[in-house]
Amino acid sequence: MQLDLALAEDVLGCQIPIQPVVHGIGMEDLAPLLKHLRDQRRAADPLMPLAEVDPLKFDFNGIQEEAREDLLRGMRQSHLVEAFYAGTLRAVEHDEVAQGFRVYYEQVRRDFSDPEDVL
């Protein structure tokens, strides 16, 4: 099922602060992943151990304590992304989507100086 931006935001219950197409990856490309994440969100184990994140990464990006905790909590869902892409036929799609998010994050960091605004 293809989702446009408005429908994806409705499904997730929040605004998605991206342009309709980000460096060749559009909402239609992310829709199956977003639906999978929504459907599988309950599968995340709130007590699962998480990989250590180098504090220097947080410091470099100016991310303070509350935002750090939010990001670490969000990591509990990251295995769902891996599971979704493990079941797809396009082996490079995972890397393309990850690259799209990385490029978008770099763009947002250039446009906003306050780390809270970036997040």
Q: What is the pLDDT along the chain (119 residues), one digit of tens a residue?
A: 677 777 877 888 877 766 544 455 566 777 777 777 777 666 556 666 666 778 888 888 888 888 888 888 777 777 777 777 776 666 677 888 888 888 898 899 899 988 888 88
Q: Tell me, what's the pLDDT at 85?
A: 78
Neighbours of 114 (CB within 10 A): 8
53: which residues sit within 8 A by CB, 6+ positions away?
71, 72, 75
Coil, strand or helix: which one is 46?
Answer: coil
Pair of tokens at residue 108: 């947002």
Indicate whether this model's pTM tops 0.75.
Answer: no
Pair of tokens at residue 42: 């309950």
Contact 92, 41 (CB under 8 A): no
